[in-house]
Structure formats: structure tokens, C-alpha cells
A and B are shown apart, each in its own frame.
Chain A
């Protein structure tokens, strides 16, 4: 078994193969599906590429937000029911004549209808659903949208939601190049996949590069393999570890490498990252 793994590792020496294998072994969440890219010229003249979120990601974010909205409204209704028990409406009196009930009804309505505009303004182009889905709203220039753009895109929900269940908006997302609905077209916005830990990943990578003598690509591969060590099946991680070590240490004998057990392989890889 060990020798066959080593033979295979010789065949998998090329880096793109390793990368592809690592990528294949990763469970790809639905929200990473992207349909297009947005290239934006930065203020310095150096351009950058943002990954546009597709209809699937948008729908996922919307469904999460919708559930939060419904839960919010239900909380209001429950509160209303409790208060109604405590302060019963007089016989023949209308529900709307009770100021507490009135406030609760208005609160529930506001929770449902102002959820998106208020949270997008407060969270600078995000909502809890978008955050979970890993997307954020940006302008077509790749910047944070202003209040006007956010309000406009929310205003057009009136049209996007026609005839029901956001059908028009969804169709628009499927047929437009950047997967935008009518509100986004009017507001000049679009949803991009968020590089949430971009700054920290640069920080981690640069810290590793400072310590390690490995080239960045190899270092990243080793780091990825170690991070997903337990998630990978044992034969698979052994093959990948031997393949990487064969590349990192070409002087090491293939047979000796094949004889190493799992703990030793991991220790060697960790040593390379820390060195």
C-alpha cells in the first residue's frame, strides 16, 4: 500500500495537479459559485478583480434574510399575544384602539419592510444573510455604496418582486451579465463575493513567508494540506504529503519517504512551515 502511494506521488509531482486535487477535496459551498468578474481600476491605476455573486448566492442570502425577517415579525406577534393577555382589549373595543397593540403592529410591519434598507445602510452594504452567504453590495466602481444607491436598489424591490416571489428579479439575475436585478441596475450596485479574511490571510501568509524558506505557492499548499489534514481521507492525505515532500526535498529518497508514517510526514511538513 505504501509503495503504491509513493509511485502515485511521483506521478502527481506537478503542482497544478496537487492544487486541483486539493481543490477537489475541498467541499465547495454553494455561495462560492460565481458567474462573472468585475475588474475595477484603483485610484493608483492598479486594477483589481472582484468576483460577482451569481443568482444562487443571491438567493441563498435572500432566503437567510427572509427567515430572519419572518422570525422578527413572529417575535413581535408573540410579544403582542403576551401583552394582550396582560392588558385585555375591552369588550367591543377594536384591536387598533389599544396603543400597545398598535405599536406592535407597526413594529412588525417596519421589521418586515425596512429590514433590508435599514440594515444595508447600517452595515454598509451587508445584511446578516449576505454576511452568511459571504457577499456584499458594492458600486460598479468597486466602492462601498452610499445611502442613495442603497435606498434606490431597495425601492425597486417593488418591481423586482413582481408578479410574486421575486420572479422578475430572479429572471433578471439569470439573464444579466453581472447577475443583477432591476434595483441594482437603477442603484448602480452589484453583489460581489467578499474577501472577508483578505487582510488577515495576507498577514498570515507574509508571516509564514518571513519564517519559511519555501516559495509562496508551495508554502500555501503545505499550509492548506495541514489545515485540512483531518478532513482528508487517510490515503489521500498521505499521498499528498509525500508528493509535497518529494517536491520540497528532492534529495530525499523516494523509498525512505514511502516508509514514513503519518505522524512523521505531518511533522516534516510542519517543520517546513515553521522554518
Chain B
């Protein structure tokens, strides 16, 4: 009696080679496989759910368009994260130019933190996310990749093209800056005060 054959899911490399030939189904499989990590990464970089979703879509579109020139190196997700990082960088530069162009734009008002104790956890996450998103990109990317995505220093160094020591230093500096940003909140900001 022959044993049932178990089909291994195709690897990223196999799917990418099919994408190169214009296979939309293979592309859809790739999107399905990587969409959640890419969206999560972008939410952490931007602290904006809608923007992250839009940038994630654009990330996959760029992957499709660059499939011809893509060289398989065994880690497609790193390539996607690189595209996503570049998109955030470009978008922030555009936003900066726009701010320079229109100096009379009103500043974004931050909503008052909710005081209800039941919302504290969500509020804390919101504060941390916002503080992360305000870090300069050179600290934000390594910090998110290391602390949230769990990448090693070596992998990050390889991905962003700098030395491991530089990555360590940026992660450390990112942590320090994040602590400074969260310090007022940590030391009895309004959201920590419970009612009653």
C-alpha cells in the first residue's frame, strides 16, 4: 500500500520564480504568506494602521514590479522589509518637504489620553507605538527589527548595510530615546491615574 504523498508548500524562491513569469496566483500566495508581518512592521514604524496597510500594499506591488531583477538570497521577508522601510523613508521625506512648503499648516493635535482604567493597557500600547514612530528612522528601523521582529544584530547589519556594532549602538540609542519620550508618561502621566 502506497503512502499518501504530502505536498510541501512551495518555497518563496519557487513562488518568486513563478511570479517572474507573470503568475498572479503565485504572487497572491506570496502576499498571503507575508502580509501580516509586513503590516505589523509598518504599523510599528508609522503608528498609523491605515497608512501601514496602504504602504504594505505598495510594498507588494513593488515586489511584483521588481520581480525581474530580484535575486534569490533565501530571505524574501528581509527584502520586503527593505522595500517597506524605503517607502516609509520616502514618505517621511515628502511629508517633510510639504511641511517646509506650507509652514502655516496647523500642527497635529494629540487626543487626550483616556482616563478610564480599563483602557490603560490599550492606552499604554498606543503611547509606546506613538513614541516608537517618533524616533528618527535610523534608530527606529533597527529597534523595531530587533526588539519587535526579533532579528539578530547580524541580520539587521546585513539588511541595512552597516556594521554590527553600529546596529547595537543604534538599538541602544533608540532605547534611550524611547525611554526619554516615555519618561513623563511612565512617571505618572495622566493615563496612569485611575479614577476612583
Q: Is the A/B pair a real complex? A: no
